[in-house]
Amino acid sequence: MYQEVLPNIYLINVPLPESPLKSVNTYFIKGLEGQKNLIVDSGFNEPASKAAFFEAMVSLDFSYANTDFLATHLHSDHFAIMRAIEDRRPKIYLGRYDKAHLTQRSEMNSTSDYFAFTAKLYGLPEVLVDEDAPFVRNTPTENSIERIIGVNAGDVFEVGGYSFEAVLFEGHTPGHIGLYDKEKKVLLCGDHLLGNISSNITYWKDNFDSLGSYLSSLSMLNQLDVEHLLCGHRSNDFDIKARIAELFDHHTERLSEVVDILAASKKSMTSYEVAAKMTWSVREDMWEKYSDQQKWFATGEAMAHLEYLYKRGRVEKDMVGFTARYCSTAGNK
């Protein structure tokens, strides 16, 4: 049910139904006498996730009155259960840049409009434009967004004998945060660094360089003295510095691949068209068998790499209506 991975820190694997990730690592931190408890990350606003999450709360004697909640970032596998508890009015923390993004998104006509706009930007086929249900059903309400407490880099959380300082790890989301205890060398890093899967680095907005920010944040993590890494999915047992080096190599190779795809094309390409030709962790002929949600994530990652290259003058971009099209600097438009 749960495992005490460090003194007063309990790991709960909350299931993620219909997700290839299978589960999310949720951390229940038991406060010392006079302190509130803190839960870091949650799971989907779905029956299976909620059952495991609330069972752990009961087993560990965590109540709404004695517990605060924090999400390392806004993705629904880390945040959506907060929607299910908003009527209990607990304190819910989220990085302030992620809160700002949620606020901006909620100000559009609807969440569906937001995803329809993004789909057009990516050049997704129309059949995928309406396939936003997995995103929409886990989206926080305007009421819950208003009640979120924005976290700044440097904010401190004293809980369970730890003094956690919030660290901004931009990239996976605009305001992804981690919690770092410098003295005890403990880092809760969410999805910033994962052992045997790579974090999805997607496009967020035009003035945010997702991949560039992520690589800078990886460099920052590489400078931290960490002995106990507690990440968002799967195992925590891996060599941090070796994994960071692997990720730099991974993204360097992926950028080269994108440049080659554009150079081989006789016309400009959308992010969706580039994603369909990129190498993913499946056989080359599997693209058409990808789920709609997988194609969304893959296309967003393709655009993050395209934008990284565009911002550095290595590819060209044109807007055709609401769709971004890219070509090699020596290629045809």
Count the alpha carbons within 13 Å of 119 in the hemisphere toward its beta carbon: 20
Do residues 90 and 67 lie in contact, with contact meaning Cβ atoms separated by under 8 Å?
A: yes
Averaged pLDDT score across all residues of the chain: 90
Q: Give percent of the chain with pLDDT exceeding 70.
A: 90
Has residue 139 got a pLDDT over 70?
no
Nearest CA to 11 out of 29, 31, 32, 33 is that of 29
The tokens describing 260, both together, are 């080659």
Has residue 238 got a pLDDT over 80?
yes
CATH for the stretch 3-243:
3.60.15.10
DSSP 3-state of 224: coil
- Give the model's pLDDT for residue 55: 96
Give the count of beta carbons closer than 10 Å to the beta carbon of residue 318. 11
Comparing 147 with 256, the larger pLDDT belongs to 256
Comparing 138 with 251, the larger pLDDT belongs to 251
* Phi, psi values for residue 236, rounded to 5°: -100, 0
Query: pLDDT, tens digit, for every residue of 195-228?
Result: 989 999 999 988 899 999 999 999 999 999 999 9
Nearest CA to 99 out of 116, 122, 82 is that of 82
Least confidently predicted of 120-129, 271-280, 296-305: 120-129
Least confidently predicted of 143-147, 158-162, 320-324: 143-147
Mean pLDDT of 273-295: 77
Residues 6+ apart with CB under 8 A from 159: 29, 31, 32, 35, 36, 37, 38
- Give the model's pLDDT for residue 111: 59
Has residue 19 got a pLDDT over 90?
no
Mean pLDDT of 180-185: 98
The Cα 213–Cα 38 span in angstroms is 28
Do residues 230 and 70 lie in contact, with contact meaning Cβ atoms separated by under 8 Å?
A: no
Query: pLDDT, tens digit, for every residue of 29-81?
Result: 999 999 999 999 999 999 999 999 999 999 999 999 999 999 999 998 999 88
- Give the model's pLDDT for residue 113: 73
- Give the model's pLDDT for residue 112: 63
Mean pLDDT of 273-278: 95
Has residue 290 got a pLDDT over 80?
no
Has residue 242 got a pLDDT over 90?
yes
Q: Give percent of the chain with pLDDT exceeding 90.
A: 72
Has residue 283 got a pLDDT over 60?
no
Has residue 240 got a pLDDT over 80?
yes
Nearest CA to 263 out of 198, 329, 215, 308 is that of 329
Query: Does domain 245-328 sit in CATH 2.40.50.40?
Result: no
Spacing of C-alpha 313 from chain mean position:
27
Has residue 137 got a pLDDT over 90?
no
Mean pLDDT of 16-41: 95
- Give the model's pLDDT for residue 288: 72
Mean pLDDT of 138-152: 78
Domain ranges of the chain: 3-243, 245-328
Nearest CA to 73 out of 160, 189, 223 is that of 189
Spacing of C-alpha 16 from chain mean position:
15
